[in-house]
A and B are shown apart, each in its own frame.
Chain A
Amino acid sequence: MAVTSAISVSDLNERAKAVLGSDRSLNDVWVSGEISNLTKHTSGHYYFTLKDQRSEVRCTLFRGARNSLSFEPAESMKVTAFGSVDMYVVKGSYQFNVSTMRRSGTGEMYLALEELKKKLNAEGLFETSRKRGLPGYPRIIGVVTSPTGVAIHDILKAASKRFPADILLAPVLVQGEGAAASIAKGIELINTQNVDVVIVGRGGGSSEDLWAFNEEIVARAIMSSKAPVISAVGHEVDVTIADLVADVRAPTPSAAAEIALPDISSEMRNLENKMIRAYGSLSSCISAMRSSFSILDSKLSVKRAKEKVDVNINAVNELSRRSSFSVRSSLNGKNGVFLIIDAKLSPKRAEGSVNQYMMNLDDLSVTADSSLLRNISDKRKDMNSAEQRMNSIDPMKVLERGYSCVEADGRALVSASQISENSNIEIRMRDGKVKAKVNEVIMK
């Protein structure tokens, strides 16, 4: 054979492509196998290997074909693919271009499933209106699953970080012979125990593994459950009849625990928000009280009291000047009463009652928050300054500072004109009185 008849690699691959494309036994065929090495390209095309026990073949699933599928292809999924063999000229490798695909077992099993779905749907089992809400804070959660599976492990782990409900497990078979009956029985049993909510489910597996959750007996048991049911079967992509009947469908068992049990820290935050609201109201109540306090404070001021007493004393003096001695003495008695009133209004007493009030506040504030205490201590400062103000205008305090008070006939004298020569006066000092006779009055 002459070398001149050599063809290029490209030509060879093109020829092979033409042969493969024209052979009817390689075109429009159904191929069964398991998906592996699934790559989802950003272009929307999927690439994977279809394999059985002995061989494998590279497959393409272009975007258009993929969009028309009724399920999402996944790793290890058993499928039957329809398509044609083709040559990938660039690599000189052949591939299977899939135009459509079914999940394996799509035969009788899926047909029966569709029938059952239709029947239960017609009975209204999937109706949203039939579904119940979940309790906000369950005390006991019932779990119907395998005692050795990943589901219970995941549920316990997730629950340990959530609202502290007790957990009661009804151990059941979740796959294989008798699984459906076992699950149904478990749901019935757990409902004798006053549980607030029931989680029914299992961890991920093949569609065969999850099949028990597609059985009518399980659907009926979920429907009859007294407590609301959360389904948690396999992974997010697996939707079983149990999921359709359940009051709530959780994508996974740990998600089911999170749906059933509130988050502790958000509950804590909620509590603190309530206390902030309560404290806000209390604060405004305290400031309202503070402003009414300052009104009382001014009413109780020594200055005002003194003015009142002075007015009365002046009236008494005026009268006494014009009256006989006996009348005067009786009026002096009245003067004594005024002194008593004066004493009642004294800063000492006012201070005493303020102190009393503060002690009451102290008692009450023991259990309150520190912010409340801070507020009360502000109030105490206010009170202390009021107290100081009262003290500063107390006449006795003036005497402490070295001033003296001149009195005659029991009344304080403010002007030299009130005093005549040779009259008797009393000088009130810090620690006693001096009786004196006036030698001379010198007017300024």
Chain B
Amino acid sequence: MKENTDKKEKEEKKVCEMTFEESLKALEELVDMLENGNLDLDKSLEIYEKAVEIRDRCRAILEKSERRVRKIMETSEGIRKEDIVKE
């Protein structure tokens, strides 16, 4: 039982850590599973719920408003990066 929850947590953690590309691939796989079918309702709903979760993850990435804009410089102490303040 505990193992199960651990496994589930691990999986959930994975979704929110996925890159956009990975999420999109996972979503495509789920949709394919649904389309290739022969699943019972419970399984279909489970996959659909997962698809909704991943879709939300993708949206969250797309809607991410802050993006870092930095410049890189080589100094005597090595490579340094600093934020560019937008005018």
The residues of A with any CB-CB pair to B shorter than 8 Å are: 136-137, 139, 147, 156, 159-160, 163-171, 189-190, 192-193, 264, 267-268, 271, 274-275, 277-279, 281-282, 284-286, 289, 364, 367-369, 372
Residues of A within 8 A of B59 (CB): 268, 271
Whether the Cβ atoms of B62 and A264 lie closer than 8 Å is: yes
**Would you list the 6 A-B pairs with minimal beta carbon distance, nearest first?**
A281-B34, A169-B71, A166-B68, A285-B44, A137-B20, A164-B64
Q: What's the minimum C-beta distance from A187 to chain B, rounded to whole angstroms?
A: 12
Encoded as 1 (CB less than 8 Å from any A CB) or 0, chain B from 67 to 84 comes to 111111110000101001
Q: A164-B62, A271-B55, A281-B37 are in contact. Are A368 and B68 (CB under 8 A)?
A: no
Contact (Cβ within 8 A) A277 B86: no
Main SS class of interface, A: helix
B11 in the interface (beta carbon within 8 A) = no
Task: Report chain A residues within 8 Å CB of B20.
Answer: 137, 163
- Check A368 against B45 for contact (C-beta < 8 Å): yes
Asked if A285 meets B37 with Cβ closer than 8 Å, knowing A278-B31, A368-B45, the reply is: yes
Given the complex of chains A and B, what is the CA–CA distance between A180 and B30 in angstroms? 50
B62 near A268 with CB under 8 A, answer: yes
Given A164-B61, A271-B55, A274-B27, answer yes or no on A364-B69 (Cβ-Cβ < 8 Å): no
> Number of B residues whose C-beta is below 8 Å from A?
41
Chain B contacts of A277 at CB under 8 A?
31, 34-35
Jot down 13 A-B pairs with beta carbons below 8 A, ordered by A.
Answer: A136-B21, A137-B24, A159-B67, A164-B64, A268-B62, A271-B55, A271-B58, A274-B31, A278-B31, A278-B51, A285-B34, A364-B42, A368-B48
Contact of B51 with A364 in the complex, beta carbons under 8 Å: no
B1 within 8 A of A: no
- Indicate whether B12 reaches chain A with its CB closer than 8 angstroms: no
Question: Measured between C-beta atoms, what is the minimum distance from A226 to chain B in Å?
Answer: 15
Whether B69 and A137, one on each chain, are in contact in the complex, defined by CB atoms closer than 8 angstroms, is no
Complex CA–CA separation, A349 to B19 (angstroms): 50
Which residues from chain A contact B65 at a C-beta distance below 8 Å? 164
Bound complex: CA A278 to CA B73 (Å):
48
Selected from A147, A165, A268, A279, the residue in CB contact (under 8 A) with B48 is A279
Cβ of B40: which chain A residues have Cβ within 8 Å of it?
Answer: 285, 289
Please give 17 more A-B residue pairs, beta carbons under 8 A apart, in addition to A136-B21, A137-B19: A137-B24, A164-B62, A166-B70, A167-B70, A168-B72, A171-B73, A271-B27, A271-B58, A274-B27, A274-B28, A275-B51, A285-B41, A289-B40, A364-B42, A364-B45, A367-B52, A368-B48
Name which of A165, A168, A193, A368 has the most chain B CB atoms within 10 A of its CB.
A168
Cβ contact within 8 Å between B72 and A170: yes
The reply to whether A164 and B67 contact each other, CB–CB distance below 8 Å, is: yes
Residues in A with CB closer than 8 Å to B86 are 156
A423 vs B67: C-alpha distance when bound (angstroms): 94
Report B85 CB to chain A, min CB distance, Å: 12
Q: Which residue of A lies closest to B44 (CB)?
A: A285
A189 to B79, Cβ gap below 8 A?
yes
A160 to B87, CA, bound (A): 14
- Quote the shortest CB–CB distance from A351 to chain B (angstroms): 21
Closest B residue to A170 using CB positions: B72
Task: Give every chain B residue within 8 A of A278 (Cβ-Cβ).
Answer: 30-31, 34, 47-48, 51
Query: Which of B28, B41, B64, B71 is in CB contact (< 8 Å) with A147?
Result: B71
From A193, A281, A364, contact of B35 by CB (8 A): A281
User: Cβ of A189 and Cβ of B21 under 8 Å apart?
Assistant: no
Q: Which residues of A contact B69 (CB under 8 A)?
A: 156, 166-167, 169
A-side contacts of B73, CB under 8 Å? 171
Asked whether, in the complex, the Cβ of B74 is within 8 Å of the Cβ of A189, the reply is yes
Instruction: List, in ascending order, chain A residues with CB within 8 A of B41's CB.
Output: 285-286, 289
Nearest B residue (CB) for A152: B84
**Contact with B39, one of A190, A264, A285 (Cβ below 8 angstroms):** A285
